[in-house]
Amino acid sequence: MDHRADDIAATMHEIGRRARDAAAELAFASSATKAAALEAAADALIRATPEIIEANARDMEYGRDKGLSPAMLDRLMLDEARIRAMADGLRAVAAQPDPVGAVIAEWDMPSGLHIRRVRTPLGVVGVIYESRPNVTADAGGLCLKSGNAAILRGGSESFHSSGAIHACLVEGLVAAGLPADAIQRVPTRDRAAVAEMLRMTGFIDVIVPRGGKGLVGLVQSEARVPVFAHLEGICHVYLDREADRDKALRVVVNAKTRRTGICGAAECLLIDRPVAGTLGREIVAALIDAGVRVHGDEGVQALDDRVIPATDADWGREYLDMDIAARVVDGVDAATGHVRQFGSSHTEAILTENDETAARFFARLDSAILMRNASTQFADGGEFGMGAEIGIATGKMHARGPVGAEQLTSFKYLVEGDGTIRP
């Protein structure tokens, strides 16, 4: 290991050690104290608006010099409205119920024992993200709410913006009498810090990567620490023979076009054969009229001559753009078969008025989120009532779907007896 990497490792271990210590204190901070820290951080953000915008200007200049795309520059940009949105987000998290200490289950045993299962923090959460500086506030706030210490590692493009936001979070912690180390930020742009985080099993309990497939894939393959993440959101919409025309038109167009760059955007439409020539044709035309490039199999090509022939590469593809794959299938079982083969276990929707068909779709798929007669774009912690989310997970262990404060907790059993011994 060279000198530089040695230094980074030492820095990261020191951050890890301080996070562990802060986590031990944070674990039994009261709900009121944590809420006060979040409110104080929100106030600090509003007060520091000029400084944050100034720091952001430096990042924007660096980004333009580096030749970032307009879309990436837009993600990076902060203005007064976006800073206010961050502050509102912290206040929303503050107002949510505290998951820590909540009794998940409670029962008595014939032995005389009274058993409670209660939520506890996970410990230390590492967050690795790319250009969006608001993740600093969102992730820091959720970790604090759930009693976890956070180690935040933002993208190098948002280095100054994230620093200014982080300072406000620390201000909130200190104002509430909580340890400043409860939310730490990696103070270097060096990528070796990320590699180090992924191996810090002694200090970090879970890593949440937020960003593109490149970042998430790297984290998933290299991490020795557990990871909450989804690699891709290849969301499927199945148009059943018993779909309602108006609902289907509305939902499919919304699922594809509302925002194309988010993980809950629909990427593949599966059309039940009996309605291909009728409702299927109408929906394909509506998508194309809305500006979507429809990549169809032969059955779909027959519906509209503007359909682009699909190739094998179109199945299971995450376009994140105004494109959708489309295929004619024979009923719900063929649809679930297609999803099992090409899906990413994120979110799938069925359009049907038939309860049995919907139940079959729900039973035969094991994606984190399954929807009926609703847009896949609802795959979001806020829309699930969680106040905020640190990300969406598709793994089967511990957390799935939108990951909010509650999903950042573990639990322990509290058992009370009265001198009770085991025979």
Q: CB nearer to its own copies: give 10 or 105.
A: 105
- If one asks whether residue 342 binds its own copies (CB under 8 A), the answer comes out as no
Residue choice 125, 183, 197, 368 for contact with its own copies (CB under 8 A): 368
Cα gap 344→334, rounded to integer Å: 17
| Minimum distance, C-beta of residue 105 to its own copies, in the bound complex (Å) | 10
Query: What amino acid occupies position 373?
Result: N
Q: Which of 159, 179, 158, 154 is nearest to 169 (CA)?
A: 179
Specify the DSSP class assigned to residue 391: E
Burial 58-77 (b: 16+ CB within 10 A, else e): ebbebbeeeebeeebbebbb
- Which residue, 134 or 375, is less far from its own copies as judged by CB? 375
Least CB distance to its own copies at residue 87 (A): 22
Q: What residue has token string 């907790």?
A: 409
Residues 144 and 173: beta-carbon distance below 8 Å: yes
Quote the least distance from Cβ 172 to its own copies, whole Å: 23
The minimum distance between CB 108 and its own copies, in angstroms, equals 9
Say whether residue 28 binds its own copies (CB under 8 A). yes
> Among residues 5, 92, 288, 370, which is the contact residue for its own copies, using CB under 8 A?
370
Of residues 7 and 383, the one with the C-beta less far from its own copies? 383
Please tell me whether residue 369 binds its own copies under the rule CB under 8 A. Answer: yes
Does 397 help bind its own copies (rule: CB under 8 A)?
Answer: yes
Q: Rounded to whole angstroms, how far apart are CA atoms 322 and 175?
A: 47
Q: CA 416 to CA 55: how far, in whole Å?
A: 54
| Per-residue tokens: 181 | 């180390």
Q: Which residues contact 403 (CB under 8 A, 6 or more apart)?
A: 208, 228, 381, 389, 390, 391, 392, 393
Under rule CB under 8 A, residue 17 binds its own copies:
no
| C-alpha distances in Å from residue 423, one per residue of 107, 111, 116, 360, 420 | 20, 9, 22, 48, 9
Instruction: Please report, as residue ranges, which positions from 182 to 201 form the binding site for its own copies (by CB under 8 A).
Output: none
Looking at 367, 391, 403, 405, which residue binds its own copies (CB under 8 A)? 367
Measured from the CB atom, the residue of 180 and 415 that comes closer to its own copies is: 415
C-beta neighbour count of 319 within 10 angstroms: 20
290 is an interface residue for its own copies by CB under 8 A: no
202 counts as binding its own copies under rule CB under 8 A: no
Cα distances from 106 to residues 27, 109, 157, 339, 417, in angstroms, run 21, 10, 48, 39, 14
- The correct pick among 82, 91, 199, 247 for binding its own copies (CB under 8 A) is 247
Q: Please give the structure tokens belonging to residue 167.
A: 């300072």
Instruction: Name which of 77 and 207 has its Cβ closer to its own copies.
Output: 207
Q: Among residues 125, 237, 377, 388, which is the contact residue for its own copies, using CB under 8 A?
A: 377
**What is the footprint of its own copies within residues 85-144 (CB under 8 A)?**
107, 109, 111, 113, 115, 120, 122-123
Least distance CB 396 / its own copies (angstroms): 4
Structure-token match 């984290």, residue found: 219
Quick check: 413 binds its own copies (CB under 8 A)?
Answer: yes
| Burial class, 348, CB count within 10 angstroms (exposed 0-12 / middle 13-18 / buried 19+) | buried
Least spacing, CB of residue 266 vs its own copies, in Å: 12
Can you read off the two tokens belonging to residue 219?
Answer: 């984290």
Q: For its own copies, which residue of 16, 99, 391, 401 counts as binding (CB under 8 A)?
A: 401
Per CB under 8 A, 222 contacts its own copies: no
Site residues for its own copies per CB under 8 A: 24, 27-28, 107, 109, 111, 113, 115, 120, 122-123, 205-206, 226, 244, 246-248, 250-251, 254-255, 258, 340, 358, 362-364, 366-375, 377-378, 383-385, 396-398, 400-401, 410-422
